[in-house]
Amino acid sequence: MTKTYARLTPLADSLPATVPFVGPETQERARGRPFAARLGANENGFGPSPMALSAMAEAARDVWMYGDPENFDLRMALAAHHGIAPENIMVGEGIDGLLGYLVRLLVGSGDVVVTSKGAYPTFNYHVAGFGGRIETVPYNADHEDPVALVETAREVGAKLVYIANPDNPMGTWHAAGTVQRMIEAVPEGCLLVLDEAYVEFAPEGTAPDLAPDDPRVVRMRTFSKAYGLAGARVGYAIGARELITAFHKIRNHFGMCRISQAGALAALHDQDHLRQTLDRVGAARRRIESIAQQNGLHPLPSATNFVAVDCGADGDFARAVLQALVQQDVFVRMPFSTPQDRCIRVSTGRAEELDLFAAALPRALERARSSR
């Protein structure tokens, strides 16, 4: 009997079947038990606004209808919140989804993009998927290097150059003036992709003023982190109108769930809850720093909802620490690339989860040291 099958394109056939991150659920299935502390995915364990939960429950009654393909109400609210025009805003399925659309729009086979070695891997995943070529720049003292990124983009004729500010996975950040100088230095024909997923957690003066019609930069923001809606998948891009309009050529017009739209809209209106969340994240971040220091480790300064903790040796040692934490049912992650992989990355969480981390870390360090 003849079997039929989908014939992959040569490009797709050449790619590994992989995802940028292995989810905690996958690990739990392999382990045969759940994690007791979920501190690895930079989720907001303090949860979304009660107003958002109520709005989503209300919207669930109408889930038989598709969501508004124009995301009109949410775009209008975001425009008012930021003091810009709605035509400068594109809502999409999280920053990950928007990065995919952006790369699809601008990167063809052989086109070059520039990013930092070890930076957020989903961007690279999309670039590879559309046949682009990735050039990487090393971190500089655990910070992405704006000057080197722009210089490399100029040297290789890059279509896109990516930076996250604040950074994932290190939690470090640059001041607004540094980022603005990077925008102004972007070479002709290149677009700066400024990922600001964690910007709500950052100190005042981290984000440059919005200039939405500046054609040199597109800024990505999300409801996944500070607003606590990671599972709802709501992100948005701020950019020049011509670029934002181009998204309509290729985006999934019914990609946004109406429940997610309602939740994000309500969360945006509850700025009091956002401020409370930022306070709780700040306290949890300080607790992680204290736990690390009590164990003789060095926490990196962070402007995010996680802390990168320098384990004091190399990547193999940090991986042993991570594995020993996982064996004690504490889920954390770590940077992928040397020398940043000397760290583990611990997300902020509820007090009871950090208590478990505090109890598990000394044992994890002892096991890692005894295995060397």
For residue range 13-59, list pLDDT tens digits in order.
899 887 778 899 999 999 999 999 999 999 999 999 999 999 999 99
Q: Residue 140's domain is classified under what CATH number?
A: 3.40.640.10
Same domain, 42 and 181: no
Same domain, 88 and 212: yes
Domain boundary among 238, 269, 300: 269
Same domain, 132 and 230: yes
What is the pLDDT at residue 175?
98
- Alpha-carbon distance of 77 to 228, in angstroms, equals 18
The answer to whether position 227 is within a domain reads yes
- Alpha-carbon distance of 125 to 179, in angstroms, equals 24
Q: Outline where the chain has alpha helix (H).
A: 10-14, 24-31, 50-60, 72-82, 94-106, 121-129, 146-156, 176-185, 241-247, 258-269, 271-294, 315-327, 351-371
The structure's pTM equals 0.96
Into how many domains does the chain fold? 2
327 C-beta neighbours (distance < 10 Å), count: 13
Please report the sign of the dihedral spanned by the C-alpha atoms of residue 248, residue 250, residue 254, residue 258: negative
Domain boundary among 269, 290, 314: 269
Question: Which of the residues in the chain have pLDDT under 50?
Answer: none
Range of 327's domain?
22-47+272-371
The answer to whether position 326 is within a domain reads yes
- Alpha-carbon distance of 223 to 286, in angstroms, equals 23
Same domain, 222 and 314: no
Same domain, 172 and 282: no
Same domain, 60 and 188: yes
What is the pLDDT at residue 372?
78
The angle subtended at Cα 131 by Cα 125 and Cα 137, nearest 5°, is 60
Work out the burial of residue 82: count CB atoms within 10 Å of its CB; fewer than 13 is exposed, 13-18 middle, 19 or more buried.
middle
Helix axes 94-106, 121-129, angle to 10 degrees: 40
Same domain, 33 and 56: no
Domain boundary among 223, 251, 269: 269
Tokens of 204: 């005042």
The angle subtended at Cα 107 by Cα 101 and Cα 113, nearest 5°, is 110
